[in-house]
Chains A and B, each alone.
Chain A
């Protein structure tokens, strides 16, 4: 079977294919996409290894590393993790099966889409029943992650396991203010982390995504994680979510926002076209099976420069007027210009206006009124305005208050869905 598929997997290197053929078939595959992660990868691979040995000692398993041209020896660290039971090395724990660890360099520069594509192709060639993808930045990983991720796939026949995390209230504002509520309103499922860097999936779903997806499309490659989740929802696969502890706060620069929006919002907007018949008929939303502890909001103080957020929103409104005229309806633009005025002391970007803005951007993206990438970039300054309001509204609130505000925003997205349908094919 593996030989039959070789022609289709022509983007894999000959050496990597040879190693995969030597492995044969596996029950469990853990994919680790990397690029210069030598500092963190050691502990992550150890946790993966320990998790496999503890929870899946009788299963055939492999760790596949898709590397984007590391120069710090990351792939070597992963390959060292292989355990050969025939040699019986005392430094490695005992295993009933050989634990293979294979690394391949898919490119000399990192590309998340190609990394995922490589892992999916390897999973298909090895006919893995359950696969997990672990981010090299997930330093909080424990051995329990492996069972939390893979057990629902392996024994309960779920197709996709997504994570939920405890987060700081100032963290993941793009998720809480756009990606989660809009995905929920569109597809009717309460998926907290549609953009999942750590997840697990069945061989069935992996093969389907590998075969169906337009990997040459830049939008798909940039937002492959989000596309993967949305593809599973639209394909009506069985999805659940599991709690993975606290998500570490990663300090970022302002330059990180646009790439983050391409990976999430760009992927969400572009998925709306092929899935129109699916999402246009959905109303309301329902919970999905969730395992593990309840996620909670962390309230400890964290410095966020709110003044800068507001300034960048105001500058964006002033400088990008000609761009917004192509995207937004005149009343929405006028309202945004009103709240951006410097004399507006109590600045507030209301939930209703934010939802209207996002829906108009989605419709403009669908109609390609200007370059689609420019539409995503133009949303960034407006998101900063909304983030400012969200931070102000939740600065002194309890965890319940924050959750209540997020829930209210989600309901606003659901309430205004008919407006999206109205502008989707109609005028502005």
Chain B
């Protein structure tokens, strides 16, 4: 009985030693890959930060309105944030590459999925950034045009345009990353439709006189020149 126990224990110890001897080199490879990954990711971060500073990315982000959002969320500057993101994505990628060397059943499939997801994440970030840039540009253009045309509530018009573009951009981003695609599509449809209906009702009910003035100015040739002589002749 005693011999049997000793024999089983010895066998188990041998198996454990064999397993450990089998996995140890792989763990060492994982550590080496992770370390090499850290070095590569660090250099990538430094390189990207320099490039972004060179092209004045923070200024671009400021004009896109992204910097204001980051400040409100107590996050670092756009350059720093993007550099850190690249660092973590690159390092995580190396770590997962190292983990796949361990040969753990089922893990490799998940890692492959993660790598397939990365391009979608990158595209989503690009859509987000350029979408914010477009929202900022067009809302400012609308604001300036409305102020110079002496239209009522220019800021409301500008904010509405920004809101519509941001909603549109967010729905695209969620669709790209595959999060609640159907829900986002329906939500976008409802929000956009409600906004348009609201604007139509508001214009019809509240802006009756404004619409009349606009149409008279546009098509009422007899009255077209009235008031023009009250204007400034700049050149």
Chain B residues with Cβ below 8 Å from A384 are 232
CB atoms of B148 and A252 under 8 A apart: no
Contact of A374 with B233 in the complex, beta carbons under 8 Å: no
**Stretch of A9-17, A74-82, A314-322 that contacts chain B:** A314-322
* Residue-wise interface mask of B (105-125) relative to A, using a CB-CB cutoff of 8 A (1 in contact, 0 not): 000000000000000000000
Per a CB cutoff under 8 Å, which of A195, A316, A387 touches B232?
A: A387
Cross-interface CB contact of A371 among B137, B147, B150, B154, cutoff 8 Å: B137
**In contact, A312 and B150 (Cβ under 8 angstroms):** yes
Query: Are A172 and B63 in contact, CB atoms less than 8 angstroms apart?
Result: no
Interface check B187, CB cutoff 8 A: no
Given A315-B147, A377-B145, A378-B144, A250–B137 Cβ distance below 8 Å?
no
Asked whether, in the complex, the Cβ of A303 is within 8 Å of the Cβ of B148, the reply is no
Residues of A within 8 A of B228 (CB): 251-253
| B3: Cβ under 8 A from any A Cβ | no
Q: What 1/0 mask marks residues of chain B from 125 to 153 whose CB sits below 8 Å from any chain A CB?
A: 00000000000010011011111111000
Task: Say whether B233 contacts A253, CB under 8 Å.
Answer: no
Interface string of A247-266 (1 = CB under 8 A from B): 00111111111101101100
Question: Inside 8 A of B63's CB, which chain A residues have their CB?
Answer: 326, 369-370
Residue of B nearest to A258 (CB): B148
Among A173, A251, A260, A315, the residue within 8 A (CB) of B150 is: A315
Option from B59, B141, B230, B235 in Cβ contact (under 8 Å) with A174:
B235
Q: Could you mark each residue 377-419 of chain A with 1 if its beta carbon is under 8 Å from any beta carbon of chain B, else 0? A: 1101101100100000000000000000000000000000000
- Chain A: residues with Cβ within 8 Å of the partner, total of 44
C-alpha spacing A263/B59, complex, angstroms: 28
Which partner residue on chain A sits nearest B230 by CB separation?
Answer: A305
CB distance from A372 to the nearest CB of B (A): 12
Task: Kindly identify which residue among B143, B145, B232 contacts A173, using a CB–CB cutoff of 8 Å.
Answer: B232
The one of A249, A264, A309, A371 that contacts B233, using a Cβ cutoff of 8 Å: A249
CB nearest neighbor in B for A391: B232
Q: Which chain B residues lie closer than 8 Å to A323 at the CB level?
A: 140, 143-144
Query: Contact flags (1/0) for B211-235 with A, using CB distance below 8 Å?
Result: 0000000000000010111111111
Interface SS, B side:
helix
Q: Are A253 and B231 in contact (CB under 8 A)?
A: yes
Chain A residues contacting B155 (CB-CB under 8 Å) are 319
- Given the known interface contacts A251-B225, A315-B150, A319-B155, the answer about A309 and B145 at a Cβ–Cβ threshold of 8 Å is no
Q: Which of B140, B145, B148, B231 contacts A251 (CB 8 A)?
A: B231
Provide the residues of chain B in CB contact with A264, threshold 8 Å.
235
Taking a contact as CB atoms under 8 Å apart, the answer to whether A304 and B148 are in contact is no
Q: Does residue A5 face the partner (Cβ distance < 8 Å to B)?
A: no
Residue A175 at the B interface, CB < 8 A? yes
Knowing A371-B137, A374-B141, say if A320 contacts B231 (CB, 8 Å): no
Q: Pick the contact of A319: B59, B147, B225, B231 (CB < 8 A).
A: B147
**Smallest Cβ-Cβ distance to A177: which chain B residue:** B234
Contact (Cβ within 8 A) A175 B235: yes
A320 contacts B143, C-beta separation under 8 Å = yes
The answer to whether A303 and B230 touch (CB under 8 A), given A320-B147, A377-B144, A380-B148, is yes
Contact A171 B233 (CB under 8 A): yes
Contact B147–A251 (Cβ < 8 Å): no
Is residue A71 within 8 Å, beta carbon to beta carbon, of the partner chain?
A: no
B149 cross-chain contacts in A, Cβ below 8 A: 254-255
Q: What does the 1/0 interface line of B9-34 toward A look like (CB < 8 Å)?
A: 00000000000000000000000000
Contacts of A173 in B (CB 8 A): 232-234
What sequence of 0s and 1s flags, for each residue 85-99 of chain B, a beta carbon within 8 Å of any chain A beta carbon? 000000000000000
Question: Would you call A341 an interface residue if the criterion is a C-beta within 8 Å of the partner chain's C-beta atoms?
Answer: no
Interface 1/0 per residue, A211-247 and B, CB below 8 Å:
0000000000000000000000000000000000000
Name the residue of chain A whose CB is nearest to the CB of B141: A374
Residues in B neighbouring A316, C-beta threshold 8 A: 147
> Which residues on B sit within 8 Å (CB–CB) of A315?
147, 150, 154
Pairs A–B under 8 Å by Cβ, sample size 6: A252-B231, A257-B148, A305-B231, A309-B232, A369-B63, A387-B234
